[in-house]
Amino acid sequence: MIQTKPYEFMVKYTPQREWIEKRGIMLWLAFFFVELGAGAFIVSSVFGSLWGMFIGWFLCGVLGGGFHLLYLGHPFRFWRIILSHGWKTSWISRGLIFVGLFLILGAIHLILVQWASPVPGLLIAAGVFAFCTIVYVGFVMNYVNSIPLWNTPLLPVLYVILGIWGGLGVTLIALLATRDTAVVGSVEEWSRIFLLAFIFIVFIYLFSIRYQGPTGMTSVRQIVSGKWSPLFWVMVVVFGMVLPLGVALGSWLVGFAIPVGLLYLVVIFELLSDLALRYCILRYGLYAPLIPARI
């Protein structure tokens, strides 16, 4: 049903390739780290974890930014993205501006906090751009109106939830690692709320795409029952939904405190699930056939 041979290009449903194959795989990681980092920064700033904010900044700026540059064909021309007028229409241009401003303002804030005194409002400004950073990836993909799997308002919502949820996980690890346990419980609670939001949005998203036409239906079918469906069912559902839910329910029902090691594991599973879901969305972004054909 989907294109597997060169002569089926645009005759059958054709998956996008450039953002998942060969060097495109870098973009999968770039999007992940950028959103995860920004989410971690926001959550850590709310819960007052400086280490969390720093880790978030590092994930976004160094890893996310690094993978972005590794992906580009001409990375040393990236400054054109900022200095051109692309921001008027291009979400990538806007995204780089958001990321840039977030990193700069975030870095200044972190330096001031560590070695001087923070400037009021700077953190808020950094936080706003961090939020924009989480949002922009969803809109980059949403803009592509010929890939029904991406062309839905639910996608930016999904990515915001993923970003914050991932950020909660990173913040949790940062707090545990630095034995700053005062707000761990609170972070855990919010993490569970966002877990529920994640489960809800994933299923709403996949269901609604099915009704976007045959291309959307095919995309969803490939995700849930195609060749790579174990990736979805094991990594996204089991690791990202069933296990964390089980742990949370178990803890709530039985009332025991979750061991730290288990918490680490749950966060890692959640992050892997995030990665897997992003992979599925990128890999199965299908274009409709361009010309009439018996599919």
Sequence-distant (6+) residues with CB within 8 A of 134 are 35, 38, 39, 42, 159, 160, 163, 164
Of the candidates 201, 212, 207, 243, the residue with the CA atom closest to the CA atom of residue 223: 207
Nearer to other proteins, 114 or 146 (CB): 146
Nearest distance, CB of residue 224 and other proteins, angstroms: 22
Q: What is the dihedral of CA 243, 245, 249, 251, to 10 degrees?
A: 60
Q: What is the DSSP letter of 119?
A: P
Tell me the backbone φ, ψ of residue 189, rounded to 5 degrees: -60, -45
Give the residues lining the site for other proteins (CB under 8 A).
4-11, 14, 16, 18-19, 22-24, 71-75, 77-78, 80-81, 84-87, 89-93, 96, 140, 143-147, 287-294
Q: Which residues pair with 14 in a beta bridge?
A: 287
Please, what is the minimum distance in Å from the beta carbon of residue 213 to other proteins? Answer: 10
Q: Phi and psi (nearest 5°) for 103?
A: -65, -40
Q: In terms of CB distance, is 137 or 162 closer to other proteins?
A: 137
Nearest distance from C-beta of residue 160 to other proteins, angstroms: 21
> What is the largest distance, in Å, between two alpha-carbon atoms of the chain?
68
Closer CB to other proteins, residue 78 or residue 200? 78
| Residue 155 backbone phi and psi in degrees, to 5 | -65, -50
> C-beta of 21: minimal distance to other proteins in Å?
10
Sign of the CA dihedral running 7, 11, 13, 14? positive
Which lies closer to other proteins via its Cβ, residue 72 or residue 260? 72
Strand pairing of 14-15 and 286-287?
antiparallel
Please, what is the end-to-end C-alpha distance for the chain in angstroms?
Answer: 6
Minimum Å gap between C-beta 149 and other proteins is: 12
Residue with Cβ nearer other proteins (58 or 87) = 87
Least distance in angstroms from the C-beta of 248 to other proteins: 37
CB closer to other proteins, 73 vs 255: 73
Query: Nearest-5° angle of CA 167, CA 172, CA 173?
Result: 100
Least distance (Å) between residue 81 CB and other proteins: 4
Q: In this complex, which beta carbon is closest to other proteins, that of residue 146 or of residue 181?
A: 146
